[in-house]
Amino acid sequence: MNERETLAAEPTQKATFAGGCFWCMEPPFEKLNGVTEVVSGYMGGSGANPTYDDYAAKGHVEAVQITYDPSQVSYPQLLEVFWRQIDPTDAGGQFVDRGRQYRSAVFYHDDEQKRLAERSRESLEKSRRFDSPIVTELLPASTFYKAEDYHQDYYRKSSIRYKYYRYRSGRDQYLDKVWGKERESFDPARDARADETKTDDNGQDYVRPSDDQIKRTLTPLQYEVTQQDATEPPFNNAYWNDKKDGIYVDILSGEPLFSSRDKYDSRTGWPSFTRPLEPRNIVEKPDNTLLTKRTEVRSRIADSHLGHVFNDGPQPTGLRYCMNSAALRFIPKETLEKEGYGEHAALFKN
């Protein structure tokens, strides 16, 4: 009898995982075939009836409980999805969320789940994918307390806030670095992330051109900025003072990056935005090249150097995405449909 048959004794079974913020742990499991329900809640503590205000004080962690049909999706497959959502080497929390209430854990519901979880963790350890030891705990499942209703499916109910939180948390940047394309095969729910390529309404893919194509198509300044991390002159670039309605896309891949609706005059001489149009297309990296800590901004698919983000912008985000015009191409609102960006046309109808 194989593992799938062993776990198929009941019509549905439960799996419970803790991976930091439970908002981020729902989407990867909800769209798996065979998963019928994913609930956010609290587990692992000693205090009864925890709430969002006191669950940490009662010793609980944020967790998701999954109801699944083992004839369609196996427990080992759920474990594979789980490992690809977390940093299993971090005992002090997950990404931007710190504290033991955000630590990672597998809560096993029976001896078979325990065995499979131990074997899965051991396999991950032996893979040497991580430089540090795996510290994710394997614990017996205890009473699961459902979290407040506003936490359930938060990524759907408050999608803008969720995407902004997830983008700023650093979770996807870390996971993409560790797993790359291997993560994709176990991550069918990519609500906060882009595919490696994306096809628009005209069948055009957002892809990074070859190095030869890049050298042939870019001007010297565009090449220096996007490929050599240069900065163009202020007040002497294409878009610093542009006020037309439309979106800004990566000059190489065409992936959508910023909207004129979020553009403002930062008086710096470079085009500045309060937030990305599609956060999933933006990658942030530490930059210490000027003997000071800055945050570099790059495009996800083309890997173009775009500029930097600073914490001195206006509300509602307080951020200033200071970009280089040489890394961008402007698509005016009148041609969004024609050029395959029709999904963004609604931004400019009011």
DSSP letter string, 183-238:
HHTT----TTS--SS-B-TTS-B--PPPHHHHHHHS-HHHHHHHHH---PPTTSSS
d(CA 168, CA 96): 8
> In the annotation, is 24 catalytic?
no
Cβ–Cβ under 8 Å, residues 194 and 306: no
Split at pLDDT 50, 70, 90, the class of 185 is very low
- What's the token pair of residue 214? 């890049």
CA-to-CA distance for 217 and 202, rounded, in angstroms? 22
For residue 228 the two structure tokens come to 């050599």
Instruction: Indicate the SS3 state at residue 278.
Output: coil
Q: Is the pLDDT of residue 177 over 50?
A: yes
Q: Which residues contact 142 (CB under 8 A, 6 or more apart)?
A: 43, 44, 107
- What average pLDDT is seen over the chain? 87
Token pair in block for residue 82 = 């789980």
Range with lowest mean pLDDT among 42-51, 60-69, 331-340: 331-340
The pLDDT value recorded for residue 196 is 36
Residue with tokens 């078979």: 112
* Domain with residues 211-348, CATH architecture: Beta Complex (2.170)
Mean pLDDT of 314-337: 94
What is the gyration radius of the CA atoms in the chain, in angstroms? 23
* pLDDT tens sequence across 257-304: 999 999 999 999 999 999 999 888 898 888 888 778 889 999 988 999
> Which tens digits make up the pLDDT trace of 99-109?
999 999 999 99
Among 116, 302, 322, 331, the active-site one is 322
pLDDT at residue 220 is higher than 80: yes
- Token pair for 323: 């970009």
The amino acid occupying position 285 is K
- What 1-7 contacts at long range (C-beta under 8 Å, 24+ apart), as own/partner pairs, is 3/74, 3/75, 3/76, 3/116, 4/70, 4/71, 4/74, 6/112, 7/70, 7/74, 7/75, 7/112
Q: What is the pLDDT of residue 184?
A: 53
Alpha-carbon distances, residue 176 vs 18, 276, 291 (angstroms): 20, 19, 27
Q: Single out the residue of 135, 39, 117 nearest to residue 74, CA to CA.
A: 117
Measured in degrees and rounded to the nearest 5, phi and psi for residue 199 equal -100, 130
pLDDT in tens, 53-71: 999 999 999 999 999 998 8
pTM over 0.95: no
- Does 162 have pLDDT greater than 90? no
For the chain, domain boundaries: 3-184, 211-348
At a CB cut-off of 8 Å and minimum separation 6, what does 206 contact?
194, 197, 198, 200, 250, 253, 254, 255, 301
Catalytic residue among 21, 32, 116, 326: 21
Which H helix or E strand runs over 154?
helix 154-157
- The stretch 32-44 carries a mean pLDDT of 94
**Nearest 10 degrees: Cα torsion 246, 247, 252, 255:** -140
Domain 3-184 bears CATH identifier 3.30.1060.10? yes
- Which residue matches tokens 């933006």? 282
Three-class DSSP category at 63? strand
